[in-house]
Structure 1
């Protein structure tokens, strides 16, 4: 049997309108009354009638998230963190893994209040229609008609080299995907090169293109590195998955981390602390990204305004066990 506001009002001894206001967090209801009503609603297993809410408020309190054909660990972790963050608000989340336009059409039918779009390396133009939309992972080089939130990839790679330089490393290799069709990978590459130039270190001979972003790409690239006559004292990995492959290859070939080679990686997710070697990393944490994305879309839904249209978040460096001072 469906529990209604009328049932809760009868048990709580208050009016229907008081129950409605209490369940929507209205300040017009005394806190003790509100707590009592919420507790009764939970005990009775009350589920709000979204269709009815829509008729009254014109809002569904639902945020749609579009996650098209992405299988990387970092982005899967970010989706989980976004879901957790939304759970702490009055909104709910619906996830779609359909192609972008199909997902947009579906969310329009459901009349979601706002949309979060993962648009990494998606080379199509998006028309957000009338639904508030925020995207994660869109190059500033492209034209866009909606707010963008992203991490500062170039700054992260620059700071990684700066950090290793401070540890005395002068022979530093970058292992990452250098793809001209992926602006974010190119930003990492450019950040690494700028830092190497800034500190007067070697150039392109210390760069290995993985031609992909997964674990196996990192493993193969590290194998190529070990075939060189002269090895670096430090490696900057282009992503969490790539760096996992690098570490496995080095360990299989009895290269000690960080005694023989230090490793620092782009990305900043909790899993990096539990790798074979707890990994030093630099990037915007998934928790910080999730918080910024969720509160920005809710602010856009409720106020139709954001202070900035394009926000690059500042990376944070986390020290663990994979980097050490260079041997002299």
Structure 2
């Protein structure tokens, strides 16, 4: 492509238009507009050529005017729980947030993050972003959304999906999640395959579906192996490092009888590893430990933590693409998906 030399003083006096770009590129005005909008109707080669010309001419595409005309904001709201920044949830939601930003911005959309409620007034942030027409679509990433918020979203006819957490109120809502039952099953099965017979699990509140499902998977693996389920070996704790550490000091007698422990979050598992070290038990020589999530820190503990990897990156990509395809009219309806987690073998089993 020939180089375009623009006299700076001249460019200041004359405002570059789409017509100018079309004339230089030898294409029609709609082709320029589609290219700057990153439309799939234009070939990648032509889009690249037109964008390069626009850049060299100092052309600034007025996206705000186009949004006013189309009545679209090209923005997606992601709704997180109010405690997403707490230490027990921070790792997971930071990973979720990173992948959401990448997936949404890759599709030339904007993303805003909100908690479901204003932490001072208790008012619904969901109603606010919809009423002020701030977004085209909504991604819900929390497990206890109020019924009135769900009904408000329905009435607004905004496209919406549930990410990772199921909508227990409306079974017809689009859900993109991970099979936590399968995750709990393969975690426990791996411990059994490595000689575990007396296996405890440390879970959290059974009312939270992800932990309820992981515990069901744990029970299923024991049942298949014809290992008697002992209800006293199922512990419900908080999902913090301290919870795992304290569990060890509070249950020394039981721990001495165990072959293995399935800890249902990595953060708790790190606490368990430290607690076991303090009382003189070696992992995996004396007892095996498996976690859940596969956060970055798993590689840096000693021993490195065997865990269940959640395919968050793939899940977010699929969810965002489905939502954006629906917003842009490329599909008539969204298809939810449930992905299977997988085992990551390291040194704690």
Specify if TM > 0.5.
Answer: yes
**Match in the other structure for 2:163:** 136
The 5 Å alignment of 1:81-100 reads 81-99=99-117
Whether 2:309 is the aligned partner of 1:286: answer no
Whether 2:178 is the aligned partner of 1:155: answer no
Map Cα deviations across residues 83-116 of structure 1 (whole Å, 9 max, x no partner). 1122322222121235183234214424422111
Tell me, in whole angstroms, the C-alpha distance in 2 between the residues paired with 1:174 and 1:45.
61
Q: What 5-or-longer segments of structure 1 have no aligned partner?
A: 324-328
- Which residue of 192, 200, 203 maps to 1:165? 192
Secondary structure at 2:289 match in 1: strand
Q: Name which structure has the greater RCO, CA cutoff 8 Å, separation 6+.
A: 1
The 5 Å alignment of 1:1-150 reads 6=16, 10=20, 13-14=24-25, 17-26=30-39, 29=42, 31-42=44-55, 48-69=61-82, 70-71=84-85, 72=89, 73-99=91-117, 101-122=124-145, 124-125=147-148, 126-127=150-151, 128=153, 129-139=156-166, 141-150=168-177
Structure with greater Cα Rg:
2
- Aligned-residue offset at 1:282: 1.6
Whether 2:214 is the aligned partner of 1:188: answer yes
Tell me, in whole angstroms, the C-alpha distance in 1 between the residues paired with 2:135 and 2:248.
46
**Match in the other structure for 1:231:** 257
CA RMSD of aligned residues (A): 3.0
Q: Using a 3 Å threshold, how does the CA distance of structure 1 residues 272 and 124 change in structure 2: closer, same or farther?
A: farther
**Is the Cα–Cα contact under 8 Å of residues 222 and 249 in structure 1 kept in the other structure?**
yes
**Match in the other structure for 2:277:** 251
Q: Higher mean Cα deviation, 157-166 or 243-252? A: 243-252
- Aligned-residue offset at 1:30: 6.0
Tell me, in whole angstroms, the C-alpha distance in 2 between the residues paired with 1:170 and 1:5.
76
Q: Using a 3 Å threshold, how does the CA distance of structure 1 residues 66 and 41 change in structure 2: closer, same or farther?
A: farther
- The TM-score with structure 2 as length reference comes to 0.79
Tell me, in whole angstroms, the C-alpha distance in 1 between the residues paired with 2:280 and 2:175.
44
Q: Using a 3 Å threshold, how does the CA distance of structure 1 residues 199 and 86 change in structure 2: closer, same or farther?
A: same
Q: What 5-or-longer segments of structure 2 have no aligned partner?
A: 1-10, 119-123
Residues matched between the structures, number: 318
- The TM-score with structure 1 as length reference comes to 0.84
**Is the Cα–Cα contact under 8 Å of residues 116 and 145 in structure 2 kept in the other structure?**
no
**Is the Cα–Cα contact under 8 Å of residues 133 and 297 in structure 1 kept in the other structure?**
yes
Q: Using a 3 Å threshold, how does the CA distance of structure 1 residues 41 and 250 change in structure 2: closer, same or farther?
A: farther
